[in-house]
Structure 1
Amino acid sequence: MAPTRVGAVAGHFGRDVARTLAKLEALVAGARRDGTDLLVLPGATIGGYVPDLQPGREAGTQDLPPAFALDDEAVQHVRRLAGSMVVCFGFCELDDGCRYNTAVCVSGDGVLGRHRKVHQPVGESAAYAAGDGFAAFDTPVGRMGLLVDYDKTFPESARTLALDGAQLVAALSAWPASVTDRAARLADDRQARLFDIYDAARAAENQVVWVSSNQTGVLGDLRFLGQAKVVGPGGRTLARTGTKGGLAAVELDVAAEVARARRVLHHLVERRPAAYATAGRTRTWAESVR
């Protein structure tokens, strides 16, 4: 099977939708010239993310990102730009009066998959409703799944996608530096370290190809980390950017790499679900020491 060229974008995408669409035209055209098959853009690509994550903030008092229906022209414009490529990007989706932090996967043929962010950090619920599930889907580059930033903190998110057959996971982020304990250098920030740990761990524990994008720059009170990367199913980073804008790209045979990682130790097969029966509930202290 021919190798798949996978690219993860680190870049700044803010409120100016017209400017973003013009930027995407150049970015997608460049990726196509490079032979890219799968291009993963950051979370909140169209319209940007929220400007802060202060708890207790009411939705009406924030500079919220613009919201679009799935069939809105801005969203469909990116679909047309994709053409024969597979492109993943984020936006604030408006559906039945609710706003969601959504990632979509498109090609010129239409929407291939959609994910609404399930896990919300403190302060985000004023801007978005929460999604309610994780599902893989088929694409020209293989079966894959989507996550939106904080989702990857929870191992169950990626595991659900892997159990549903995903061999590729696109994790789209607008992931900022720590808002409570900022480091002088982004590379030294606590959240920068966690961002990298989660990317490597989720890839390795599920033995999948992990494509992690992220915003860069500043929006409101938030300073985004960048650190886009492609991680192989053994947890090794194959390509990455720094804290500034850029593209982390690599060519690989996704199915072959996943098969090789699972040849001896196959984590999904070797699970013991019966032993995890209490994982969904809180145990009392007395139960834990029996």
Structure 2
Amino acid sequence: MSTLRMAAVAAPFDRDLEGDFDRVAALIATARADGVGLLALPEACLGGYLANLDGGADGPPALDVDGPEIKRLAALAGDMVVAAGYCEHADGRLYNSVVCVTGDGVLGNHRKVHQPLSEDATYRAGDGFAAFDTPVGRLGMLICYDKAFPESARSLALDGAEIGVCVSAWPGSRTNPAADLAQDRWKRRFDLFDQARALENQIVWLSANQSGVFGDLRFVAGAKVVDPGGEILAGTGVAAGIAVAELDVRQALETARRSMGHLRDRRPAAYPALATGGEELAAARY
């Protein structure tokens, strides 16, 4: 069995794209020196996130997935697999996206499906989840609020994802903020979602997040690597940093699923609302 050294980043990013690339280059260099093969950078790390979620914030620079900035990211990645968030421009529309690259180019791209608060004033929504093969295994990617919906990670796991990579710009609570971010209720939810998505799908989970303050938002950091049993193998807490863990992914999945296989033991016929979408049920209740 072979092991994979993987890492998730918590770091601040802003509108200074050159400064962001400098930070990305330094983080990749640090990870490479530590033997990391898979690195997850935060949501919107190329150009920064929105300054607020009230609907009036200027967005980050719009980049083409086939453009020079993503090629620059791929060149920095080299022999590593790197996932990074950016604002994607395609067909005259903007998407909150995450791209996965190596030095050979783009391996996968995901557009954020679930949009919190007024994020839809800036971005269009993506329309699905798909796993893809990489040199370090089969990956599935999500962005921030996507992980609050169990169907998102489950779709990726059913598509064969061995590792879930969730990149975020997840802030602390706006309505009842805690002086200590470690005690913030939104930090607690961030961590619970990470552990639950890993455990319920019995997959490895990398969670990257922004840190620091940008505009009205104070990010909770909390980058981590979670094993298929929902245990946090490495984490940054509420500080900027790199969470690094080494794991034999295939063996970890086999061990977790040996007796109780959460994907194997599903009973789809017992959940008809999932097949129909459940819109009428949801409307009737709320």
Q: TM-score normalised by the shorter chain: which range applies? A: over 0.9
Aligned equivalent of 2:140, options 137, 142, 145: 145
Matching residue of 1:170 = 165
Quote the Cα distance in structure 2 between the aligned partners of 1:283 and 1:111. Answer: 39
Q: CA RMSD in A?
A: 1.4
Quote the Cα distance in structure 1 between the aligned partners of 2:189 and 2:203. Answer: 19
Amino acid across the alignment from 1:226: A
The question of 1:269 aligning with 2:264 is answered yes
Quote the Cα distance in structure 2 between the aligned partners of 1:15 and 1:235. Answer: 35
Quote the Cα distance in structure 2 between the aligned partners of 1:92 and 1:51. Answer: 14
Quote the Cα distance in structure 2 between the aligned partners of 1:72 and 1:271. Answer: 42
- Superposed displacement of residue 2, structure 1: 2.0
> Identity percentage over the alignment?
55
- Superposed displacement of residue 62, structure 1: 2.3
The question of 1:26 aligning with 2:26 is answered yes
Quote the Cα distance in structure 1 between the aligned partners of 2:204 and 2:191. Answer: 15
The question of 1:204 aligning with 2:199 is answered yes
- Superposed displacement of residue 101, structure 1: 0.4
Matching residue of 2:52 = 52
Amino acid across the alignment from 2:278: R
Q: In 2 relative to 1, CA 284–239 (structure 1 residues): closer, same or farther, beyond 3 Å?
A: closer
Quote the Cα distance in structure 1 between the aligned partners of 2:210 and 2:57. Answer: 20
Matching residue of 1:281 = 278
Quote the Cα distance in structure 2 between the aligned partners of 1:208 and 1:51. Answer: 33
Which blocks of at least 5 consecutive residues in structure 1 are unaligned?
A: none
Which blocks of at least 5 consecutive residues in structure 2 are unaligned?
A: none
Deviates more, 1:171-180 or 1:24-33: 24-33
The 3-state SS of whatever aligns with 1:88 is: strand
Deviations 1:34-55 (A, max 9, x none): 110000000101001001111x
The question of 1:129 aligning with 2:156 is answered no
Amino acid across the alignment from 1:23: R
Matching residue of 1:107 = 102
Deviations 1:216-261 (A, max 9, x none): 0111000000000000000000000021210000111001101100
Quote the Cα distance in structure 1 between the aligned partners of 2:32 and 2:147. Answer: 28
Quote the Cα distance in structure 2 between the aligned partners of 1:242 and 1:278. Answer: 37
Quote the Cα distance in structure 2 between the aligned partners of 1:243 and 1:284. Answer: 38
Quote the Cα distance in structure 2 between the aligned partners of 1:149 and 1:24. Answer: 19
- Superposed displacement of residue 284, structure 1: 5.7
Amino acid across the alignment from 2:79: S
The 3-state SS of whatever aligns with 1:278 is: helix
Matching residue of 1:4 = 4
Quote the Cα distance in structure 2 between the aligned partners of 1:260 and 1:238. Answer: 16
Using structure 1 for the length normalisation, give the TM-score. Answer: 0.95
Using structure 2 for the length normalisation, give the TM-score. Answer: 0.96
Number of aligned pairs?
A: 282
Amino acid across the alignment from 1:188: Q
Q: 1:150-165 alignment to 2 at 5 Å?
A: 150-165=145-160
Matching residue of 1:251 = 246
